[in-house]
Chains A and B, each alone.
Chain A
Amino acid sequence: MNIEKVLSPVVSNMKPSGIRKFFDIVSSMPDAISLGVGEPDFVTPWHIRDAGIYSLEKGRTYYTSNSGLGELREEICRYLTRRFGLEYNPENEVLITVGGSEAIDICIRSLVSPGDEVLIPEPSFVCYTPCTQLAGGTAVPIVTKEEENFKLSAKALKEAITPKTKLLILPYPNNPTGAIMTKDDLMQIADVLKDTDILVLSDEIYAELTYNSKHVSIANIEGMRERTVVVSGFSKAFAMTGWRLGYACGHPEIIGAMTKIHQYTIMCSPTTSQYAAIEAMKNGDGDIEAMAAEYNYRRKIILEGLRQIGLSCFEPLGAFYVFPNIGISGLSSNDFCEKLLLEQKVAVVPGNAFGDSGEGFIRCSYAYSINAINKALEKIDKFVSKYR
């Protein structure tokens, strides 16, 4: 049997992750300092963990309903109203998923047919293109630029739209750039979309990590609610990555379609995680704010540090990443990251892992203690001094 021939060509042709090589090198370096992690360094707050443990003690080990515990859906709706002014009906406009990732996958699968085009601002998180391809759609990247603060501009959006365009992915606050979209930015996007049938998948997993201002969802812009699916989750805001819990909110017909896929492929999201999440929604606002305040301190320290080193660095106003331009080193993203790792034992992620337009940049995560960040900055300084 030719094992390669049995694989689906869609999967065979899927690009492998751009970090495999670095992961292998860094895994063999126990003393390396990593700024490569895309998850919080905080442990899930104890009262949330305790709620999960309590649910196990109570023997709550069964499936929940396909769309998730009613109480959790209600709490999510209250939370979204309280924090972002979004209004959803817990009965039919919310689906609890296995992380934001599942929500993205089944949203795309629910909407995209073969031949449809999906617009994806880049650099951005890596799952949108493969999910689009698995659904038979065509991923159309829209390059966002450093000089435009990595925002999606109305002009770039307009230019990318064709009669085949079905869906726009809106990944803000953005991983890896840390860019955000303000209300004004979103109104311009809404203006472009309002006379079309294009839907929006707004990936707002980093919404709570927005600095100096409050996150605005495009679903809150007039006329956008019914065509937007808001995807979010517990991983970043509540430091709950390993619990694998997210949610999607949107038009009942779309959420219904997503629930169909979800019930056949997943059945329901992990029950223990759902009980823990109820506690997070009810009593977790203080945790979110404390963690966001800490990230904000680190953000300023790493931004200032990178700029002092001489790397030009746009000020990220969301998520927990900085995305410095490494032009002065004369190295490509891959070379920069590989040499930095081998010579200074500091791991960062090459910008082109997030799309071709990320070439010339690196992603540094600041989900680390200020101590670790300062140590890494010292080493990056030595490295850049050598190559500039």
Chain B
Amino acid sequence: MSSDRLRAGPLELEALRRGPLGSGGRTILLVHGVNPVSPKAGFLDLLAEHGEIVAPSHPGFGNSPRPDDFDTMYDLVHLYRELLDALPEKVVVIGLSFGGWIAAEVAAGGSAKLDRLVLVDPVGIKLGGREERDIVHFFNTSPAELNRRSWHDPANRPAGTYGLGWQTCIDEAMSDETMIALARNWDALCLYAWRPHMYNPQLKHWLRRISVPSLVLWGAADRIVTPEYGRAYSALIPGARFAMIDEAGHHPELEQPRAFVDHVARFLKEPSLRGA
């Protein structure tokens, strides 16, 4: 395990690196969700058998600085394009929740370095009618309700990892350092995504531009964004495959790490039928 810095233009981001532990020979860029990927997450070693994991913290999250004027999804998308340009060939991008939105934006814009795309319970698009809420409000919903909706069983949350409803995990044992990090993450997430809440109204029109093999994974018990939303999301990406992970909510990589990595591994072994 190592945690170091990753340079992207003028920015130096905190980044977790893991692997490769196998003969994957590829880079896996993890684009995190509401909180940076925890080094304690069990899926990391399993996934590192398939490539070298690079998991930066977005500006404002974890220990990554955020320049004053860096405060929109537009900034994040260009930052990740810049990061991709700096990585070796054949990058697999895995976007989780909010990070799935970033990954979808990057993929829709196209990148020569992007080899395959995995979206895991992503947000980012508006599908329902104007009086239907596709995405449970992250900031206006009670932490207890978020926690209930984010997990198949909240007891499955691995110690030291935090998903939506993280506020319910605060207890006397939590360190000041962890609380400060969670507060930074929450503030930054809000800055980027308060309004429209967690989506770009135009993105659904441009998902058709995604030209790499894509897998859309969904926790069967996700009640933040439902599997129905996920199926429709997937259907907008040409050739994308949709798969559900049982007994998992909004964070299947945390709740069912083995099943999550198995899905990804199978997808990475599939021959690419596109661009042939």
Q: Do A and B come from one complex?
A: no
